[in-house]
Amino acid sequence: MRVKELGAPVFIVSFALMTKPQRIIRVGRMKEAQIIAFCGSIHTKSSNQIILRYLQERFRGICNIEVFPIESLPYFSPGVNPPSTVFKLYNAIERADALIFATPEYVFSLPGILKNALEWLVSTTVLDHKPTAMIIAAADGSHAYASLKKILQTLMTDVSSKTSLHVRGIKGKIKNGQIECVQTKQKIDRVIMHLQERIRHSEE
């Protein structure tokens, strides 16, 4: 169901020059986008979690980004009736305007915890045409990038090269729990800018 309660209206912005928050240009009115994020890494100092926290702060008032606890999901097994935690996943996705996947690569592939969540989604239609962004932040990450792109396309999400980002050498771009690399922040901002465009497009 796509109808959502409208909260206080907020302004959408032109992200054309987004290196500094004060350069955000207000161009129109729009409700705050509701975004569900999935993180392939659940340890406390995770670079991918840091990226998601950066986005939550950076786009506060424009997007409400909630991280879904994929660690609460049981292991997928075909034919098993999905338990309530899995229905929470389905409902969260169905209610969301868009999705963000942020993940490292583990052993030349996606981390098992994220792959497990995706396996629960294979036989559903909740991802169909859902505006989706993917950020792979890893030491290298090429395999995870290719794998997640293939999966998200196969599951019919609305993901594109403009809403996909591959950040290599992520540890060197983070200092004291913050993204230190300005170019990386700009690239991440641009992904969300394009995701916002896809949300607007999907609502037309």
Binding site for ligand FMN (CB under 6 A): 41, 43, 46-48, 104-108, 138-141, 170-171
Nearest approach in angstroms of CB 137 to ligand FMN is 6
Nearest approach in angstroms of CB 42 to ligand FMN is 8
Nearer to ligand FMN, 24 or 113 (CB): 113
Nearer to ligand FMN, 105 or 158 (CB): 105
Nearest approach in angstroms of CB 106 to ligand FMN is 4
Nearest approach in angstroms of CB 173 to ligand FMN is 10
Nearer to ligand FMN, 23 or 171 (CB): 171
Nearest approach in angstroms of CB 116 to ligand FMN is 16
User: Which residues, in sequence order, are CB contacts of 68 under 8 Å at separation 6+?
Assistant: 36, 37, 38, 89, 92, 117
Q: Which residues pair with 103 in a beta bridge?
A: 136
CB neighbour burial string for 17-41, b if at least 16 within 10 angstroms, e if fewer? ebeeeeebeeeeebbbbbbbbbbbb
Angle at 170 between CA 197 and CA 114, to 5 degrees: 65
Nearer to ligand FMN, 96 or 167 (CB): 167
d(CA 22, CA 123): 44
Residue of 1, 199, 197, 201 whose CA lies nearest to 93:
1
Nearer to ligand FMN, 138 or 188 (CB): 138
